[in-house]
Amino acid sequence: MKKTTTIYSIGRRQLLGGGLSILAISALSACGWRLRGKIDLPYKNILISGNLTQELRDDLDMMFRVNDIQIVQNVQKAELVLEIISEQNARQVLSYNGAGQITAYRIISRVVFRAFDPNGIELIPEADIYLTRDIDFNQSNIQAFDQQVADFVKTMRMDIVSQLMRRFASIKKLPTQQTPSESQPKSR
């Protein structure tokens, strides 16, 4: 006797896979996880200045564009000035094996910055974002290691940009300065 199957028959694996998928989605939504969307920033025109690499500038430009923020070149047009004081990427030896060969490195990224309004009022005092990642090293595959380090640095730089955006979102926009005639009550 020949076993017949229809296109609507569902196997145990498919049923189990579907059930696990629904369970995973439910668990993620229950814990508050959601896809990252736009960050609501109170500033729409930002000037970026200071000592930063082209890669960091490009990542900041991309993140600002995604959030509908215009990068301006003139302080008078800026609502916020981001000054990158320094940006450093480094690699430290983390461990050695018994033969004295390096077996792990620590990758370090650090950005020191501050933010102020066009009048020079400091909104974020000098602060830094410091990230580290540990990475195993294998002498037999140095080229792959160099690419892996470059990927780590890129990921860490994007994490720094995300942290900067969250800090900007936490800044309350200062009320605009009123002229003395506007601040006095009108007489009747």
> For 111-161, what is each residue's pLDDT tens digit?
999 999 888 899 999 999 999 999 999 888 888 888 999 999 999 999 999
Sign of the four-CA dihedral 42, 44, 49, 55: positive
- The answer on pLDDT for 180 being more than 60 is no
pLDDT value at residue 111 = 96
Computed on alpha carbons and rounded to an integer, the radius of gyration of the chain in Å comes to 26
CA-CA distance, 117 to 78, in Å (whole number)? 8
β-strand 45-50 against 80-96: which pairing, if any? parallel
CA-CA distance, 1 to 75, in Å (whole number)? 84
> For 58-94, what is each residue's pLDDT tens digit?
999 999 998 888 999 988 899 999 999 999 999 999 9
pLDDT value at residue 163 = 93
Domains of the chain: 54-170 (3.30.160.150)
